[in-house]
Structure 1
Amino acid sequence: MTLRLRSSVPACAAMFFAGSTSAADIASIHPIGFSTDGQIFAYEEYGIQDGSGFPYANIHVLDLTKDTYLPGTPFRVRLEEDDATIGKARWKVQNDAEVVIEAHELANHPGELVAFNPITEVDNDPHRLRYRSVAVVPSVGEPNTLVLEEIPQPHDPRCEGLVERNVSLRLHFSERDGKPVDDMVHEDQRIPSSRGCVSGYRLGGIVTGVVPGGARIEVALIMVFSAGFEGQDGRWIAIPIKTASPDLR
């Protein structure tokens, strides 16, 4: 498997926040957008690193058809100066990524956040989202249900004493357009080392977009929980669940 996004969304109405605690670092996320042809998707994550207290900001840019990072990405910033702030870290990473964002016109196609399930949500299933793909009232279309499964993996000696188990993930639809299905969209072949010592996942949201001709693209936002300095850290990854390629998933 090639280098995959599985390692890991400017303020606007689409921005949303996953709360943090003093014991760990839960990154906030902000979707940036899709390219005109739906082949590229980018998002930003940012926060205060646990342990060090340094502000950081990362911008991830995916090639959705290849399910890989775009060459030269992601962009990562961590500021260690005494006067460092999250705002400064975000400004710097956005400046670093500006050429790529403009080249693919990502800010012109921000997509739609059609489902969101933050860790602060008490009653929702952390591994299941039922949603409609079109944000209109009255509703259009029938619901989809995306399910995340955690798959136990062999013990990793690097994670001894840090997590009780190592898990990979699997994503499948149990419902599409209101009809029962068993449609696999992603299954880890291994846990990428970039995820660290993974203890679990949360199905955090769905972002959709539309390409010329009307084809709809969808990306699942997933929070990865891994061993941090003082607790479980949360970082975001994005997995394409419906692409604009000829073999639409």
Structure 2
Amino acid sequence: MSLRAAIATAALIATALAAPPALAGDYASFQPIGFSSDGKVFGFEEYGIQDGSGFPYSTIYVLDTQTDTFLPGAPVRARVEEDGGALPEARRDARQRAAPLIDAYRLLDTPGLLAAYNPVTEADAAEHRLRYDAFAADPPFRKTFELKLEEKTFEAQGICKDLQKAIKGFRLVMAENAGQPVSEVLQDDARIPESRHCPTGYRIGGVVTHINDDGSQVHVVMVLVKSLGFEGTTDGRWIAVPTWPGR
């Protein structure tokens, strides 16, 4: 091989290694922001690159953990709709827009604990079951919890009816509470909100915990919602299901 050919080949290899892989679905990442000091408010960020358009996006959710509803002004969404837009730009924009809410409840002061994480990249992990300890401690002091998720089938309605015959909902149950067997229903879908965008499945993605000064606990279960994406691929977006064990 000539020197010129060798240089050209090396350049092609370097370009291929530097280029991002072709997207095969848009699975958003999530980042916990934190809790209010009393645990009654929780915030998290969801971010990624849209499959198809290639636009970077970031959404910040701030919710009341007692009523499982968004606070006024949330969610806060940002998207960079231009060629070459960078994900950090979308994330900074979302943080700036959400700053009044984050600051009002001092969410950065109380980050909580990512007690369990079950990403879609974990090949051998169970999608619908997660067992975790509420806080880090030596074995005699740990408090173990278990979650189980069951998917439910609904007839497709609205725009989803033109895309698929059925959509999925879920029933989320706490099967173990601080080491004791229980059967506590945390969520049981009776209908599917349009915000889930024709869901096709779910995964228990993680749990963020916070222990308050009075000893009470709030756990936020992060559920990954799978839905129809660009050209038949899958989108993954996050919803938070809060619970107060022991209440």
Normalised by the length of structure 1, the TM-score is 0.86
Per the alignment, residue 177 of structure 2 pairs with 176
| Contact 2:156/2:164 (8 A) holds in 1 | no
1:233 partner amino acid: D
Q: Does 1:87 align with 2:88?
A: yes
The 5 Å alignment of 1:100-179 reads 100-138=101-139, 140-160=141-161, 162-163=163-164, 165-179=166-180
| Larger RCO (CA within 8 A; separation ≥ 6) | 1
- Secondary structure of the 1:58 match is strand
Per the alignment, residue 15 of structure 1 pairs with none
For residues 153 and 136 of structure 1, what CA distance do their matches in structure 2 show?
A: 42
| Contact 1:126/1:203 (8 A) holds in 2 | yes
1:41 partner amino acid: F
Per the alignment, residue 59 of structure 1 pairs with 60
| Contact 2:152/2:168 (8 A) holds in 1 | yes
Shift of 1:59: 0.2
Q: Does 1:186 align with 2:154?
A: no
Q: Does 1:201 align with 2:202?
A: yes
Shift of 1:82: 2.6
Choose 161-170 or 128-137, whichever is displaced more: 161-170
For residues 149 and 22 of structure 2, what CA distance do their matches in structure 1 show?
A: 25
- Secondary structure of the 2:81 match is coil
**Superposed CA offset, 1:118-144 (max 9, x none):** 111111110100111111244523421
Shift of 1:21: 6.3
For residues 86 and 35 of structure 1, what CA distance do their matches in structure 2 show?
A: 27
For residues 85 and 129 of structure 1, what CA distance do their matches in structure 2 show?
A: 34
For residues 171 and 199 of structure 2, what CA distance do their matches in structure 1 show?
A: 14
1:236 partner amino acid: W
**Superposed CA offset, 1:199-238 (max 9, x none):** 0000000000022212111000010001111311000110
- Secondary structure of the 1:158 match is helix
Shift of 1:85: 0.5
Structure 2, gaps ≥5 residues long: 1-20
| Contact 2:102/2:108 (8 A) holds in 1 | yes
1:54 partner amino acid: F
| Contact 1:151/1:169 (8 A) holds in 2 | yes
Shift of 1:152: 0.9
Moved >6 Å (runs of 4+): none
For residues 70 and 152 of structure 2, what CA distance do their matches in structure 1 show?
A: 24
For residues 200 and 83 of structure 1, what CA distance do their matches in structure 2 show?
A: 32
For residues 149 and 168 of structure 2, what CA distance do their matches in structure 1 show?
A: 12
**Distance change >3 Å, CA 46–CA 238, structure 1 → 2:** same
| Contact 1:208/1:216 (8 A) holds in 2 | yes
For residues 177 and 212 of structure 2, what CA distance do their matches in structure 1 show?
A: 20
Pick the aligned partner of 2:241 from 220, 236, 239. 239
**Superposed CA offset, 1:60-101 (max 9, x none):** 000111111101110001111234100000000000011110
2:126 partner amino acid: D
For residues 198 and 32 of structure 2, what CA distance do their matches in structure 1 show?
A: 25
| Contact 1:33/1:107 (8 A) holds in 2 | yes
- Secondary structure of the 1:81 match is coil
Structure 1, gaps ≥5 residues long: 1-19
Paired residue total = 226
- Secondary structure of the 2:207 match is strand
Shift of 1:168: 1.0
Shift of 1:150: 0.7
| Contact 2:60/2:77 (8 A) holds in 1 | yes
- Secondary structure of the 1:238 match is strand
CA RMSD of aligned residues (A): 1.7
| Contact 2:136/2:142 (8 A) holds in 1 | no
For residues 221 and 160 of structure 2, what CA distance do their matches in structure 1 show?
A: 27
Choose 147-156 or 109-118, whichever is displaced more: 147-156
